[in-house]
Amino acid sequence: MKHFGGSDPNRALGGILRGVEKESLRVTPAGALAQTEHPRALGSALTHPHVTTDYSEALLEFITEPFNRVGSILQQLDRIHRYTYASIGDELLWPASMPCSLGDDAQIPVARYGSSNSGTMKTVYRLGLGHRYGRKMQTIAGVHYNFSLPDEFWRELQVQEGDQQSLQEYKTQRYFDLIRNFRRHFWLLIYLFGAAPAVSRSFVEGREHQLEPFGDDRETFYSPYATSLRMGDLGYQSAAQQSLLVCYNDLPSYLNTLCGAITRPHPDYQAVGVKDAQGHYQQLNTSLLQIENEFYSSVRPKRTTRFGETALQALRLRGVEYVEVRCVDLDPYHPLGIGSEQMHFMDAFLIHCLLSDSPITEQQEYRHIQENQKRIVYRGREPGLKLWNGGGERAMDEWARELLEEMSDCAALLDQSQGDGHFRAAVEHQKAKLGHPELTPSARILADMKQQGVSFSRLVMKLAEQHRKDFEDRPLTPESLGAHRHLAEVSLADQQALEQAEGVTFEEYLRRYYEQYRCCQESPQPC
C-alpha cells in the first residue's frame, strides 16, 4: 500500500468532505405503503435542496450538505428527520432497505415533479423504470455516501508521485484508481454492514427467487447466510444490464461505454416503445439505459451538474469531483439509517482504496467482481466462504482481516488529521464481526425475528415506531421549524417560476439533452 507522506498530511486530510443521501419509504400506521402525495409541507421534490423523492411519491430522499465533520452531517440529517415527522401526520418512515408489504405495481405511485420539462423528464424516467424492472424493485431504499478529498491533499500527493498532469486530470485519474479498488473490495462493506437478509412475501410474489420461508412464517422469505438482498438479483440488478461491462480504467472509457448504452436501442425496450397508443410517454428512450443513473453501480464518479446538463457531460467537461458510494443498506436499528462509526469506517475504507495499488481491470476480473458480489449477498456469513482474488479463490475471512489491518494505517492518518481517535476505533470494532458473524446487522435482524417470533415486516415496523417516538420527543425549536418551513415555501416558488419560464417543448428539451451524449462519445472539446 502506498503511504501519503506530504509536508502536512494531517492538515490536508482534515479537509475531506462527506455528504449523505438517505432514502426512506413513507408508510401508514398499519405498515402499508403510503398512497398520499408528497407532503406540501416538505416543499417541492424538484427544487428543495434537502428533501426530495426517489422513485415513488412515497420514497423520500434526504440530502445533506457536504461537511468536513461526520457529526455535522448527522446533526443536519437529524433535523431533517425531525421536521419531516412534524409534517407527515401519522405516517412513519420505514427504516429498512427492503420495503414494507406491497400491493401490485399499480399501488406504487410514481413520483411527480410538476409540469416543467425537467420535472416531466424525471417522472417519465421513473415510468420507464417501472416498465423495465417493475415498480416493486424501485421501492428499495439505501444510503448514498459522497466523499471528496481537498485540493491541498491532491497537490501534495501529486508532487510526491512526480505527476506532471494538470491538477484536475490527476484528480480524475486517481479517483478512478480509488473506484477500481472499491469495486474489488466493496464485498467487505456488504458483509460488515449489510442489513437486508429477508423480505416480505409480497416483494417476491410472482418472481423467481432462491429464498426460503422463515420458519413457519409464510410472510417472510430469507436466505440463512444472506447479508444484503438489496445488492443481489432481487435488488438493483437486471438481466439486460448483465451484458454491460462498464470500464473504470479511465474517464474516456467510462464515458464511451455508458454513452453507448444510452444511445444504442435495446430490443426489449423497443418492444415497449417510447409512447403508448394514446401518445403518452412510457420511457425516455428505447436504449439499454435511459440515462446514466439507470446503471446500478456500487460506486460512481461524480461532478456537480449545471441546470440541464447530463452527469456524463459534467464529467467530460470538468472531470471527477467526488465519488458516490451506493452499496450501503439502511441500518434499521439507527434512527438516521447510518451512524458515526460506520461513516468513520467508510472514510478509512475509501482512503485505503486510494492509497493501495490499483491495476487496470480486465474482463476476467470484472466477472470475478460480479461473482464475489453474488456470493457475499447470499452466502456472506457462510462458514468457509471463499471469494475470487487474483487468479484463484481465497477464504473471505482471511482476506477481510488483511484488508482491515491495512485500513488501520489509513485510520491512523485520519485520526491524526482530526485528533479524535474515532477512525481507528471504527476499524477495530469491525474486526470482531469476522470471528463472530452473529454481530453483523444481517444476523442480528434474523436473530431478533426469531427471538421475538415476528415477521420481517413486524420487526421493522416496531423499529419504525421507536424511531418516530425518538424524533417526536425532540421537537425542533421554533426558529429551526420556521427555517425549514421557509425553505419549503421557497422551493415551491422556485418550481412554479421554473414552470412559467419554459420556452421549448418537451420533445425539443429531450433532443437537446440527449445531444450531450453524442458529445461525450466524440470530441473531448465542449459542444
The Cα 477–Cα 89 span in angstroms is: 19
pLDDT at 165: 98
> In terms of Cα–Cα distance, which of 341, 353, 348, 331 is closest to 422?
341
Q: Is residue 11 part of a domain?
A: no
pLDDT at 9: 52
CATH number at residue 326: 3.30.590.20
Q: Is residue 342 part of a domain?
A: yes
Domain boundaries, position 35: 16-521
Secondary element (H or E) of residue 450: helix 441-452
pLDDT at 524: 40
The Cα 451–Cα 463 span in angstroms is: 15
| Residue 289 banded pLDDT, cuts 50, 70, 90 | very high
**Span 278-292, mean pLDDT?**
97
Q: What is the DSSP string of 84-108?
A: HHTTSTT-EE--SSS--B---GGGS
Number of H helices, E strands in the chain: 18, 12
Q: Is residue 450 part of a domain?
A: yes
The Cα 382–Cα 375 span in angstroms is: 10
Q: Is residue 8 part of a domain?
A: no
End-to-end CA distance of the chain: 40
Q: Are 329 and 228 in contact (CB under 8 A)?
A: yes
Farthest-apart Cα atoms in the chain, separation: 66
Distances (CA, A) of 218 to 95, 200, 202, 270, 489: 22, 9, 10, 38, 46
Beta bridge partners, 117, equal: none
> In terms of Cα–Cα distance, which of 352, 347, 340, 323 is closest to 148?
323
> In terms of Cα–Cα distance, which of 352, 342, 295, 300 is closest to 325?
300
**Span 221-229, mean pLDDT?**
98
The Cα 324–Cα 385 span in angstroms is: 28
pLDDT at 242: 76
Q: Is residue 88 part of a domain?
A: yes
pLDDT tens, residue by residue, 396-411 = 999 999 999 999 999 9
Distances (CA, A) of 29 to 56, 90, 331, 334, 473: 19, 7, 21, 20, 18
pLDDT at 502: 85
The Cα 344–Cα 423 span in angstroms is: 5
**Which of residues 12 and 495 earns the better pLDDT score?**
495
pLDDT at 217: 76
Rounded-to-5 percentages of helix, strand, coil across the chain: 50, 15, 35
Residue 523 pLDDT greater than 50, yes or no: no
Q: Is residue 2 part of a domain?
A: no
pLDDT at 24: 98
Q: Are 12 and 156 in contact (CB under 8 A)?
A: yes
| Domain count for the chain | 1
Query: What residue spans of 1-93 are helical by DSSP H?
Result: 9-13, 70-85
Instruction: Spell out the SS3 assignment of 274-306.
Output: CECCCCCECCCCCECCCCHHHCCCCEEEECCCC
> In terms of Cα–Cα distance, which of 222, 221, 233, 227 is closest to 194?
227
pLDDT at 420: 85
Beta bridge partners, 325, equal: 145, 299
User: Which cell goes with 495?
Assistant: 418550481
Q: Is residue 462 part of a domain?
A: yes
Eight-state DSSP code of residue 8: -
Cα 1 vs. chain centroid, distance in angstroms? 27
Q: Are 459 and 452 in contact (CB under 8 A)?
A: yes
> In terms of Cα–Cα distance, which of 35, 19, 42 is closest to 495?
42
Q: Is residue 1 part of a domain?
A: no
pLDDT at 49: 98
Residue 6 pLDDT greater than 70, yes or no: no
pLDDT tens, residue by residue, 345-354 = 999 999 999 9
| Residue 439 banded pLDDT, cuts 50, 70, 90 | very high
The Cα 62–Cα 180 span in angstroms is: 28
Residue 2 pLDDT greater than 90, yes or no: no
User: Which cell goes with 480?
Assistant: 429551526
